[in-house]
Amino acid sequence: MDTTARDLSLIGIVGLVLYLLGNWAIAVTDPVESNYTLTAMEMLRSGDYVSPRIYGNYWYDKPAFFYWELIVAYKLFGINEFASRFFPGVFGVLGLMMTYLFTKRIYDRKTGLMAVGILGTCFEYWLLSKTIITDLTLFVFFNGVLIAFYMGYSTGRRAWYYLCYILAGLATLDKGPIGLLLPGFIILVYLCIRRDFKEILRIKWIPGLLLYAITAGSWYYTMYVIHGMDFINNFLGVHNFLRATQSEHEQWNVWWYYTMIFFAGCLPWCWTLPAALWKCFKEQRLPQLDMAGGFLLTWALVVNIFYQCMATKYTTYTLPGLLPIAILMACYLYKRETLVKRTVAVMLVVYAVLTFAVAAPVCNTKGYSFKNVAAVYQNQIKDEDLLVSYGDYRTSAVFYGDKVAYKLAHAKDIPDMLPDGKSWNAKNVMPFMALEELPADKNVYLILQEKGFESFDREFKAEEWQLLGDIGYARVYLRKAK
């Protein structure tokens, strides 16, 4: 076995252990993970692997690729937590292998191994490799586009550009048009910085876009044929354009948001940035970057600046920028190999402890998941019974309880909550029911989330309801049919 194969084997084994360890004990959480798992479960049971659906409704929040990953995992391992978290962990390992091969190619083996150690133990990378979300898949495909471009550009072997378009197509199948637009923008900025405008004309536009259309366009075209403008208006209009122009979480639309994310997400390595800046200040000169370093810096900066300009900000958006940052950190720490090795070893132990001492108990008991809530009623509720939810609606209760819950609200308030195709209400695809219309001829199971505790006596006739379980952050009641 040669050195590269041995290194990749070590990265694969350690990475799989790190990212899959304890996943069976971490409950599916709200509000994001449960949407993915329930959608994949409904697609699997319906036999329709083209159109994502949730609560029986078509759901245009994300393309199908990540749901396909979940479906494959469910077929392999059953519908459970380990299966749900399997492919994020696998793609986390693939991301490390890709980082090693790229860094070794542009620098050397030592830098490659250090970059892998730094990236693999960054808090954000570890966390998202265990989280049921699209971002690790996007990380591999998105960054794969940029790596393929640089390999083609730096070596003059422009056949690499064909791979760019294929990977951009896969990224688009995972996350949407950003999988093509942002890597393409980074490449354009880099070529403009180098004033190599002729290369823009050499990027295999016609055959490349054809490959892209075949890779990504087949699913998008099929969805348009099936669902028409409803798909276009919701997927592109709400879940792409609206995110860019209207903040979903206005309190986080601040200039320092991704700076904060950098320092939190890059723990324990984030100290290297201020250290590098301090070194430049003391020496009163900027570091001399080689061709590869200039590309890595452009890559990292454009990712972070681009998303800072978007109205909606999520902690995961700048994840692709971690790869070039990790390589640059490895270059900075090249002469401190012992420090890197010891830090990586310590963090491997820390993350193993965090998995069982923090992640598993918090996700199971602190209100992040309604797994324990669903356990109260799931073995006794019948098909003809009604399940309703009052307070914050939690999709994990539907996933674990295998029973659709109606969101309760007053009849006058429901019209303002329904999807309208123009606002974030488009995400409210759960079924609604008016409090005034609760049927008396059915057994009704009520999930009362803690926000509804104070209004329970006012909104419901308490004497009619039997308390089945009190989980602390939620209660389950039963009102028997009259």
- For every residue of 123-191, DSSP letters joined together read HHHHHHTTSSSSHHHHHHHHHHHHHHHHHHHHHS-TTHHHHHHHHHHHHHHHH-THHHHHHHHHHHHHH
Q: Is pLDDT at 303 greater than 70 in this prediction? A: yes
- Give CA angle at 31 (29, 35), nearest 5°: 90
Per-residue pLDDT at 186: 97
The pLDDT of residue 63 is 94
CA distance 73 to 409: 36
Using a pLDDT cut of 70, give the percent of the chain over it: 94
Please write down the long-range contacts of 90-94, taking CB distance under 8 Å and 24 or more positions apart: 90/16, 90/19, 91/129, 91/136, 91/137, 91/139, 91/140, 92/15, 92/19, 92/120, 92/125, 92/128, 92/129, 92/136, 93/11, 93/12, 93/15, 93/16, 93/19, 93/129, 94/140
| In the predicted structure, residue 267 carries a pLDDT above the cut 90 | yes
Q: What is the mean pLDDT of residues 466-476?
A: 94
Contact, 452 vs 465, CB < 8 A? no
Q: How far is CA 190 from CA 152, 193, 199, 289, 307, in A?
A: 14, 5, 11, 14, 18
Contact 119, 95 (CB under 8 A): yes
Three-state DSSP class for residue 294: helix
In tens, the pLDDT along 108-167 reads 999 999 999 999 999 999 999 999 999 999 999 999 999 999 999 999 999 999 999 999
pLDDT band for position 382 (cuts 50, 70, 90): very high
The whole-angstrom separation of Cα 210 and Cα 234 is 26
Alpha-carbon span 356 to 161, nearest angstrom: 43
* In the block, residue with structure tokens 């949730």: 54
Q: Stretch 365-386: mean pLDDT, rounded?
A: 93
Name which of 321, 358, 320, 448 is nearest 130 in CA terms.
358
pLDDT value for 345: 97
Question: Mean pLDDT, to the nearest integer, of 416-438?
Answer: 78
Listed range (81-85, 98-102, 246-250, 464-468) with the worst mean pLDDT = 246-250
Give the pLDDT mean for 54-62: 88
What are the tens digits of pLDDT across the range 385-400? 999 999 889 999 999 9
Lowest-confidence region among 13-27, 38-52, 222-236: 222-236
CB-based contact 407:432 (threshold 8 Å): yes
- Alpha helices (runs of H) in 197-242, residue ranges in sequence order: 197-200, 205-212, 218-227, 229-231
**Which residues, at least 6 apart from 278, have a Cβ–Cβ distance to it below 8 Å?**
none
Give the per-residue SS3 of 350-393.
HHHHHHHHHHHHHHHHCCCCCHHHHHHHCCCCCCCCEEEEECCC
Query: 88 to each of 3, 11, 70, 115, 153, how far by Cα in Å?
Result: 27, 16, 10, 20, 30
SS3 92: helix
pLDDT single digits (tens) 342-357: 999 999 999 999 999 9
Is 425's pLDDT higher than 80?
Answer: no
Residues of the chain with pLDDT > 90, as a percent, come to 75
Residue 283 pLDDT exceeds 80: no
Q: How many CA atoms lie within 13 A of 400 on its CB side?
A: 21
Residue 426 and residue 401 in contact, taking contact as beta carbons nearer than 8 Å? no
How far is the CA of 142 from the CAs of 138, 146, 166, 448, 463, in angstroms? 5, 7, 11, 42, 57
Q: Looking at this protein, which amino acid is placed at residue 351?
A: Y
Residue 424, pLDDT above cutoff 80: no
pTM: 0.93
CA-atom Rg of the chain in angstroms? 24
Residue type, position 160, single letter? W
Q: Any bridge partners for residue 479, and if so which?
A: 444
Distance from C-alpha of 179 to C-alpha of 158, rounded to nearest angstrom: 21
